[in-house]
Amino acid sequence: MIELNNKVSIVIPCYNQAEYLDECLQSVYNQTLLNWECIIVNDGSTDNTKDIANEWVKKDSRFHYFEKKNGGLSDARNSGISIATGEFILPLDADDTISNEYLELAVNEFQLDNTLKVVYCKANKFGSENCIWELPDFSLSNLSKNNMIFCSAMYKKSDWKLTGGYDVNMIYGWEDWEFWIALLKNGGNVKRLDHIGFNYRVKNISMVKELNSNQKEEMLQYMSYKHTDFYISQFGSFKKLNDEFENSKNEFKRKLQSEKFVIDLFLKTFFGFTIFGKYKKQK
């Protein structure tokens, strides 16, 4: 095992996830990188989170337990990071796990490239699904459309401070997506390790799955207001977007006015073929 100088603070918010916490903390304990601390933030749990966490605190002094009134995921993460002493931060949800080498491999990348802002890895899904988690490659363009960096990526605490932390207004979720935009929109490189270092537990019921359309729209609108500069840089001005929409709508209207287009569309939809070039109008 290699002990590096750069300390990593793993921050684990926990709200009624005690049944998974042992497995999560065991994956932290197994790290090949020794220079870490783990801050367990009990966000007002009503289960036995405290008992389980304190067993790990007794086992290894690198584990630290902190409890607070329930304030949501963003607030819990911020609370843990604010007392972290590591140069690097790795958020980890209490129902997920990491590979033994993840911390060491990520820190190595930061040592090799001082332009990096985020290092993450490939991932598995487990639980109600068991498969490789297929995610698109990172780019700012892709990030503007969907999030492809899960919450358990490594970054510097100094960069967290510059962003203002996780936004507590993201009350329905997607707080990690908003954070990556805030962190990366003004520059900085991202590295994905060629290593499956993160295991994401899929459950039948989760906060993200329970988002309804109104909640999604509220979060998307909030992100659009907050990061207008980012979205304009990726999509262009609002007038340009409106012009493109109007042009597309007019083009669709023009096609609908084509008798041949309408007939071919009908036949293709319901019968699986067209008679392009063979149709003759009945007299």
Amino acid letter for position 36: W
Residues 20/92, Cβ–Cβ less than 8 Å: no
Report the pLDDT averaged over residues 182-198: 97
Task: Give the list of residues 6+ apart from residue 3 with CB closer than 8 angstroms, or none.
Answer: 33, 34, 35
Q: What integer pLDDT is reported at residue 279 of this predicted model?
A: 43
d(CA 72, CA 78): 10
Does the pLDDT value for residue 227 go beyond 80?
yes
Report the pLDDT averaged over residues 244-270: 63
Torsion of CA 148, 152, 155, 160, to 10 degrees: 90
Q: At 220, which helix (H) or strand (E)?
A: helix 213-226
pLDDT band of residue 71 (cuts 50, 70, 90) is very high
* pLDDT tens digit sequence for 141-175: 999 999 999 999 999 999 999 999 999 999 999 99
Does the pLDDT value for residue 2 go beyond 60?
no
Q: What integer pLDDT is reported at residue 78 of this predicted model?
A: 98
Q: Mean of the per-residue pLDDT values for the chain?
A: 89
List of domains in the chain? 8-235 (3.90.550.10)
- Of 35-39, 179-183, 232-236, 242-246, give the lowest mean pLDDT range: 242-246
Share of the chain above pLDDT 90, in %: 75
Q: What integer pLDDT is reported at residue 211 of this predicted model?
A: 76
Share of the chain above pLDDT 70, in %: 80
Q: 250 vs 92, which has greater pLDDT?
A: 92
Q: What integer pLDDT is reported at residue 283 of this predicted model?
A: 42
Does the pLDDT value for residue 132 go beyond 50?
yes
The answer to whether the pTM exceeds 0.85 is no
Q: 268 vs 122, which has greater pLDDT?
A: 122
Q: Where are the beta strands (DSSP E) in 53-188?
A: 63-68, 88-91, 97-98, 116-127, 131-132, 155-156
d(CA 149, CA 91): 12
Report the pLDDT averaged over residues 44-50: 97
* pLDDT tens digit sequence for 271-283: 666 555 444 444 4
Q: 83 vs 206, which has greater pLDDT?
A: 83
* DSSP structure class, residue 209: T
